[in-house]
Chains A and B, each alone.
Chain A
Amino acid sequence: MKFLKRKTFAAVLASTLLVLGACSSNTTNSNSQGASNNPGASNEPAATASADPVTLTMLVSGAKAAVGEDFELETLPRLVKEKFPNVTLEVQKLPDEQYYTSVKTKLAAGEGPDIFLVFPNMANMGAIEVAKAGYAADLSGMSFWDRVSESAKNDMSYEGKPYAVAKGMDILGAYYNKSLFEQAGITEVPKDWPSFLAAAEKLKAAGITPIVMGDKDPWVIQFGMYQLSANSVYPSDPDFDKKLQTGETALTDEKWVKTINQYKELYDKGYVASGSLGMASAQAMQQFVDGKAAMIFTGTWDLPGVTAAGASEFERGFFSLPGNDAGQPVYTSAATAAGYALNANSKNLEVGKQIFEYLYDGESPLFQAWVESNPSISVFSGVELKNAIFQDVLTNIQETGNAFYFSNQMWPAGVSDVMQSKFSEIIGGKSTTAEDVAKAMQDKYTELYKE
């Protein structure tokens, strides 16, 4: 859902990806290193510091796995128990909105869970805020950091110390239906904005719904918007968000107006399935897998959903929505994913750290299960890209470094909500303009931003 509450910096990101690419041939090396660093890496059950039974609580967000074992609710507690027989992990998983309510209330009361989910940098439940408030434990002493990419570590850091371990890196893009593209006579993936519009027009002319979006869950509006801002805002002004903080620029700048207008164009021209405001994201995804629409904008995390079996069989592809003008390179929207943090005030902090050492040791059954269950692109060295569908986009980022973070990760939480609710008015056919949306966003930014 609100996976977009993350931030990262393009430059660091790109460099890490290069490192990652280089490391993937290096598996054995990093594994042996892991074993030597980590006393708990053998598969013998290891007793924790004290062998008394301890119970740890864990609160995470997300939807329960529809089929099979849920990693967080089932696999994780089971494998932790196998390794540390005296440790019981009690896990509660809530939908995103409910997660924010529940975890913040508990932390505020000093009753926070021992392990919880933290988002990168300034986002809602972002690492900076959680660290500043003293809720998350400093993880700098952990042994696994040399295997984690620099940008993933930085995005979870405050004053140089890491406070959470990212699940991976997420990329926003357009999943597309290759059969429908062929049917409409589109021979290659669009590389710039005019060719994207042309492709959408071809699909529409062929009687195919070009794009389906579940705008009843308003956060999906971010999925298209940030891909466009990665092309229309940041390439010409990489420090845009820094200038925003100093008041040197504003979200009412023509770059953002252009971004919003680009996205608006897709709705104005009828490329997005009508009635999207009444359709939830899960239903939109179902329409896509049933072959009723050619594209859907979302991120790497939705891979299980968009590749689920539907009424129609077809090959899926993935590309970055090209918001760039003709002749300009495409920029991708990519950022560090959320990750687990330990509660600094937990009585069981030491046990929690031992679990983290085991979970992130790079080779334990628990690490394997974690990687396996996790659709994000791993930020651990030595883990190969699991899903070939992302290869092209990933290669492009690695070769060119052309990527920017999700815009909202540099905004105070709340600005993106205003963007969504104002843009919904455009979708709903009100007379709201891109300028109105930008102004509402800037007003909210001014209200919420604190040095």
Chain B
Amino acid sequence: MMEPSFSLSELNRQVRNAVRDALPEAYWLRAETSDVRVNRNGHCYLEFVEKDEEGHSIIAKARGVIWSNIYRLLSPFFEQETGQQFTSGLNVLVQVTVDFHELYGFSLTVVDIDPSFTLGEIARNRQRVLKRLEEEGVLTLNRELQLPELTNLIAVISSPTAAGYEDFRDQLENNPAGFVFYTKLFPAVMQGERSEESIIAALEAIFQYGDFFHAVAIIRGGGAASDLSCFDSYNLASNVAQFPIPVVSGIGHERDVTVLDVVAHTRGKTPTAVAEIFIAHLMKTATEVEALQERLVSCTQALLVRERSDLLSLSNRLVHRSLLFLQRETAAVQHIATGARHSFRQVLQKEFAYMQEAMITSRHSARRLLDEERHRLMQVKRILHHASCEELRDERHFLENVEQFVRMVSPANVLERGYTLTLKNGKIITSSKQLHEGELIETRFRDGDVTSVVQTKGLVEGD
């Protein structure tokens, strides 16, 4: 038995009627935009998607369209309100009518949009990313780096053709102080879905040079509102935050502070502003050198002045002290001299007195000695006189005896008594042997001499 059947168009018409009947009004829809494209008639076609909690897999999807008459009004309004192009990857709150077309199928037609929702979503997303970076402890790493004092070697991540890049270079080159800057471009796509990946690749290329570069500038031309979502991306922010060289951002966005701006070492609103940051930094560095130079000059002068005044004061003290010393010494010498003269006189007087006394004493004692000696001599004399008288008497007595004896034995006395003396040539002869026959002899008598000749000679018996 044949059940009644529909042609496809009949069925689709039934679906269309059912959808229209069931969902007759316009409804507010929360969804993420995807695959947004505008055709040459000004109609905007896109996909609405919903992702799971983790944001990995798509759990719902629907085609959408914004007719050109709506899109012409809606797009500028959205950009003005959010500072963000109407593009893919945005969480949007749109008012849609639900349509089903026999040929084109299910589709959501956008009739209105609430930009504040997107703003809120962007802000929430930023908060989420920042919180995650903070939890991972990397949020402030790049901010904590020190921009070297001499920061003039700059790696630039930019689109090579961007006007912002030219502005940046012009600003650096024409800095009024005449500072030298060296820039090296690391080209990257700065817009759209590929930008995140492209910027990270550029960072990796810079990383190859180690600490050769002093800073990295991530810049993008300003002007019309553009897709900023990549600058809120966790991956890019994580790379920048952990980059070992200070990163300065200048992505041409006046109103919002993207996650990149937060994690970057310094944020400039525009490329020109970034250039100004570098110029100002070198200005500070140069000022420090100038200040050091001034300090060097002033402290050197101060040192010399002080040394000179020290010298002067030393020489003054030297003169002063020397004079004082001389005065004191002169006074001391004078004092000593006076003292010495005085003492000398005293000594002299004392000596003189002593000598006088000695003279008196010695005269006195000499006299006494003389008296004593005289006395003693007189005594001796007396003793001698006495003793010599006695001796003389004895001697006289002795001499008288001797005289008597001598008288008795004298030849005259002997001759008296009859004895004679025989002499030859005046000499007494005592032996007959002394005489020879014929010789003349004298014979002495008491009363005269006789001369005789020896006749004979005879020996007495016993001789």
Decide whether A and B are members of one complex: no
